[in-house]
Chains A and B, each alone.
Chain A
């Protein structure tokens, strides 16, 4: 039953993705700027050569015809070929996506490790110095610009104490063959523990940069929903029954308090999976965010369309996952 519902929801995501792709298609073409002009840059090219290139890229067709062409390709399972880069969109996104997913995963780990204990503790000790420290810390975390925080981390951990690398995903001396695109997995598949450790080290700073902001948002939600849960009658009942305090907090209060936290985390993860252009640029992390933003500047319509479809599907999938998690946290919720 649940599986069927999940399938239904997934199928419903397809028209959303298509609709979003069409919107992206139209919006991009209303942006001023000609991809061929931008691509050719400052070179001495004849008007005829420009016209030829535009024809080859299908850009001399009316928008309607371009849209039909786009759907024709899509029906063949193709997202098209990048205008600027010598590669298919599927491959470009496929190359960049694992890097972004890996960073998202590490970011979530960092965020949960910080946010859960901090949020719970400050809810239990509401109004204490710890609680106040957490609240102001969270405010700082949310307000801190990530490019600034990321550079500070690089300057301290890489340049001053030489503990971690500045950027990239792995040292050039330990580069392993690409199989899955996930550096943590590829290094393990290659049976190279040294490379694995190296890949983890490369993950730490970007994950910390993104994770601290994420944790700040999440800790506040965990704290406030925990405070609310701890004042509910079922908690009083549990305590009256003589359940140990740890049991009260984890089993009775936390489980219910997690529902808003999961919602917020889901939204954040959806955003992270889109890739963070700033953090990916600072840490030379070859992810989706950088690919998409650079493609927008280059008016590389084809890549942006593909990425926007990916974003739509990601958001729908993450929301679905959030709904599924609800049903585990509170069995009274149905899909």
Chain B
């Protein structure tokens, strides 16, 4: 071939290239609570020549369309109760995972997750998670987002209380100066039930954990510590033995034994065991087979597949032990009217949708609580909670919106306190569909969003950026991994390589 022919081909190729270079444009679906954020992102992307059309929906409406793969980009969030990527990174980013709305698939990441959820010792699990984070970071399946802090407030007369990352409101060690009753303004409009087998939400759990004890519990920062169990041993990869505290009694005087523990888990694991209904909680325990009694103070958890000890412990925090004899005697309906647990407070009166009054259980095995009465009041409107705290009607309020924090901080005798959040917020991209099937485009978007200014302006600094889909509070978090920097020039370059010139 003669050289001029090469020249012609080169010119033609350039022409085709220029003609095919185009403006990147896509639709970003969001919900009303994040509309401001989505608009801010759209205008930032506009600056590097990307057209974003923001559409605002009611939450829950879009999920079917997202799962069907017909949307391009969407704001999503996902909470974790485990302090382990087991119920965040894994469902969201495993190929075909339950929450994998971005259709991300990386066989090596899948393998890491497989190792992390079936290996029982910590070091290889942590290594697997760290490897997954690096891969996910460079694959950039989402525009990685942030975690919101959990903001709560209390009267400064409150002692011995801290907001917790898992939204628990433990009153066991709490007290009020100049009083012996505490009222807590809850963020929900109603808790679900007094039956510890029949709920899935954290608000119900916040109340129940004051009435019932579990085998283990969390400190406010998320560390697992003994409660009804004094110790535990790993027999093999599928078997764990727990030793129970002796001398623990329920609030009706019955002793708490291994039978009660086995009964509690049997109700949850056996389909139809709660008056013909199945507990929605079984999934929290992973691939468990059954729980059996060894003797009066020892129980054994038997798994079908190897299951990590730390995951089992994180799960057990959320399972409240119920009294077998009493439950059998009064039945489920009777139990819901007069619940009995072994916790520091016992039910006095009230209803699930307005207020629940608990009184101190004087024979609590760990010593009686300081408060004689605890009231959980359902106050779904944040402004009302703030007003009630200001007027002195309640001593603690949950879920303070960031924009109301200054109002509380300017008031005398009010403390605003925060705990680390456990919910990741992000923008998921449909990795299967053009333009987001190109990793350069996904990386470019991560570089083009100035999160620091968005988090400062919209969430008043009560949010922390996440480098990937893993939470800093979770097991195996790689703190050396940095979030994508704000680098619009580099983003433009990547887009150009991908064939988008922004014109």
* In-complex Cβ contact of A168 among B80, B88, B278, B377 (8 A): B377
Which residues on the A side are within 8 Å of B349 (C-beta)?
A: 175, 177
Q: Does A310 contact B (CB under 8 A)?
A: no
Which residues on the B side are within 8 Å of A49 (C-beta)?
A: 282-283
Which residues on the A side are within 8 Å of B353 (C-beta)?
A: 95-96, 286, 291
Bound-state CA distance A32–B351 (Å) is 32
Which residues on the B side are within 8 Å of A33 (C-beta)?
A: 60-61, 63-64
Are B391 and A84 in contact, CB atoms less than 8 angstroms apart? no
Which residues on the A side are within 8 Å of B270 (C-beta)?
A: none
Are A32 and B61 in contact, CB atoms less than 8 angstroms apart? yes
Q: Does A220 contact B (CB under 8 A)?
A: no
Which of A45, A151, A165 gathers most chain B CB within 10 Å? A45
1/0 per residue, CB under 8 A from B, across A131-172: the answer is 000000000000000000001001100110010011111001
Q: Does A228 contact B (CB under 8 A)?
A: no
For the complex formed, measure the closest distance between the CB of A303 and the CB atoms of chain B, giving whole angstroms.
Answer: 12
Which residues on the B side are within 8 Å of A34 (C-beta)?
A: 63-64
Q: Does A282 contact B (CB under 8 A)?
A: yes
Which residues on the B side are within 8 Å of A87 (C-beta)?
A: 193
Q: Does B284 contact A (CB under 8 A)?
A: yes
Bound-state CA distance A165–B62 (Å) is 40
Which residues on the B side are within 8 Å of A165 (C-beta)?
A: 391, 393
Which residues on the A side are within 8 Å of B193 (C-beta)?
A: 85-87
For the complex formed, measure the closest distance between the CB of B355 and the CB atoms of chain A, giving whole angstroms.
Answer: 5
For the complex formed, measure the closest distance between the CB of A24 and the CB atoms of chain B, giving whole angstroms.
Answer: 18
Known: A43-B283, A159-B391, A166-B391. A175 touches B278 (CB 8 A): no
For the complex formed, measure the closest distance between the CB of A307 and the CB atoms of chain B, giving whole angstroms.
Answer: 14
Interface size on B, residues (CB 8 A): 61
Are A43 and B61 in contact, CB atoms less than 8 angstroms apart? no
Q: Does A290 contact B (CB under 8 A)?
A: yes
Bound-state CA distance A291–B373 (Å) is 28
A259-317 interface (Cβ within 8 A of B): 281-284, 286, 290-291, 294, 297, 299
Which of B181, B192, B349, B354 gathers most chain A CB within 10 Å? B354
Are A43 and B87 in contact, CB atoms less than 8 angstroms apart? yes
Q: Does A233 contact B (CB under 8 A)?
A: no
Bound-state CA distance A173–B192 (Å) is 23
Bound-state CA distance A95–B352 (Å) is 10
* In-complex Cβ contact of B378 among A41, A155, A284, A297 (8 A): A284
Are A95 and B351 in contact, CB atoms less than 8 angstroms apart? yes
Q: Which residue of A lies closest to B376 (CB)?
A: A172
Q: Does B464 contact A (CB under 8 A)?
A: no
* In-complex Cβ contact of B336 among A37, A41, A86, A286 (8 A): A86
Q: Which residue of A lies closest to B388 (CB)?
A: A166
Known: A33-B61, A85-B192. A283 touches B200 (CB 8 A): no
Q: Does A178 contact B (CB under 8 A)?
A: yes
Q: Which residue of B lies closest to A287 (CB)?
A: B353
Known: A32-B61, A52-B271, A290-B189. A44 touches B354 (CB 8 A): no
A171-190 interface (Cβ within 8 A of B): 172-173, 175, 177-178
Q: Does B195 contact A (CB under 8 A)?
A: yes
Bound-state CA distance A131–B320 (Å) is 64
Bound-state CA distance A47–B99 (Å) is 11
Bound-state CA distance A281–B88 (Å) is 31
Bound-state CA distance A168–B87 (Å) is 36
Bound-state CA distance A281–B384 (Å) is 9
Which of B81, B90, B192, B387 gathers most chain A CB within 10 Å? B387
Are A168 and B60 in contact, CB atoms less than 8 angstroms apart? no
Which residues on the A side are within 8 Å of B183 (C-beta)?
A: 172
Which residues on the A side are within 8 Å of B277 (C-beta)?
A: 56, 86
Q: Which residue of A lies closest to B117 (CB)?
A: A44
B165-199 interface (Cβ within 8 A of A): 181, 183, 189-190, 192-193, 195, 198-199
Are B192 and A42 in contact, CB atoms less than 8 angstroms apart? no
Q: Does A46 contact B (CB under 8 A)?
A: yes
Known: A32-B65, A53-B280. A39 touches B200 (CB 8 A): yes
Q: Does A38 contact B (CB under 8 A)?
A: yes
Q: Does B17 contact A (CB under 8 A)?
A: no
Known: A53-B280, A95-B351, A95-B353. A38 touches B271 (CB 8 A): no
For the complex formed, measure the closest distance between the CB of B186 and the CB atoms of chain A, giving whole angstroms.
Answer: 9
Which residues on the A side are within 8 Å of B423 (C-beta)?
A: 42
* In-complex Cβ contact of A297 among B60, B90, B195, B379 (8 A): B60
Bound-state CA distance A34–B98 (Å) is 14
A22-63 interface (Cβ within 8 A of B): 31-34, 37-47, 49-50, 52-53, 56
1/0 per residue, CB under 8 A from A, across B61-84: the answer is 111110000000000001111000
Which of A155, A166, A286 gathers most chain B CB within 10 Å? A166
Which residues on the A side are within 8 Å of B280 (C-beta)?
A: 39-40, 53
Bound-state CA distance A223–B392 (Å) is 43
Bound-state CA distance A40–B98 (Å) is 11
* In-complex Cβ contact of B98 among A39, A47, A53, A166 (8 A): A47
21 A-B pairs whose Cβ atoms sit less than 8 Å apart in the complex: A32-B60, A32-B62, A37-B63, A38-B60, A42-B91, A43-B91, A44-B86, A44-B87, A52-B271, A86-B195, A86-B198, A95-B351, A95-B353, A166-B391, A166-B393, A172-B377, A281-B380, A284-B189, A284-B378, A284-B380, A290-B380
Task: List the 6 shortest-distance A-B pairs measured between CB atoms, nearest first.
Answer: A286-B353, A86-B193, A45-B283, A172-B375, A86-B198, A44-B87
Question: What 6 additional pairs, Cβ within 8 angstroms, besides A44-B90, A86-B193, A284-B380?
Answer: A32-B63, A44-B91, A96-B353, A166-B387, A167-B379, A175-B357
